[in-house]
Amino acid sequence: MQQKLVLASTSPFRRELLGRLGLPFDIANPQTDESPLPGEQPEDMALRLSEAKARAVASQFPEALIIGSDQVATVDGKIYGKPGTHDRAVAQLRELSGKTVNFFTGLCLLNTATGEAQLKGVPTLVTFRQLSDSEIENYLRREPAYNCAGSAKSEGLGIALLTGMRGEDPNALVGLPLIALCEMLRNQGVAVL
């Protein structure tokens, strides 16, 4: 019998991405403190939080494969999280205008039957073009990306804010690196195809 697959996330974007694989899965809310630790590097934080999210729901699913994922957006070591409000989104986009941002996505697949956790970080470099204040306001009015790190949805109208992207998996930028996840699932004996 195949182990239950669980997505430890309430993100509709991650749910949609995982659904593309055509595997049945459950969803659990990890309710994890996402604050950085003192002196923690952004990439380390994304990996730690992806595993923490998976482990946060592990007791509810003793014979499962639990997927945890977390993403940080950084420029020169500064973290850009989910803005939450219009004013913070405007400020983020002003700061990111003309810059290349590392959207680093941490991924964890936790086998609760064995305790084994597979971890991988997937970077995606995104270059924002020079943005005017009116373009920023027009964008956020049409697509209020307040729950997205970096204040832009590349899978939506946010693509118009960019000049380029470089990364190994376009799904990583949306929040769930499916190429890495498929490899992790195969390592656990799960046939995606």
Active site residues: 70
CA 49 – CA 22 distance, rounded (Å)? 26
The position carrying tokens 């809310």 is 29
CA 46 – CA 121 distance, rounded (Å)? 8
**Residue 40, SS3 per DSSP:** coil
Give every CB contact of residue 19 below 8 A, 6+ residues apart in sequence: none
At residue 113, what are phi and psi to the nearest 5 degrees? -70, -35
**Cα three-residue angle 7-8-13, rounded to 5 degrees:** 65
> Among 131, 104, 119, 145, which Cα is nearest to 55's?
119
Whether 14 contacts 173, CB under 8 Å: no
What distance lies between CA 126 and its chain's CA centroid? Answer: 14
Give the type of residue at 184: M
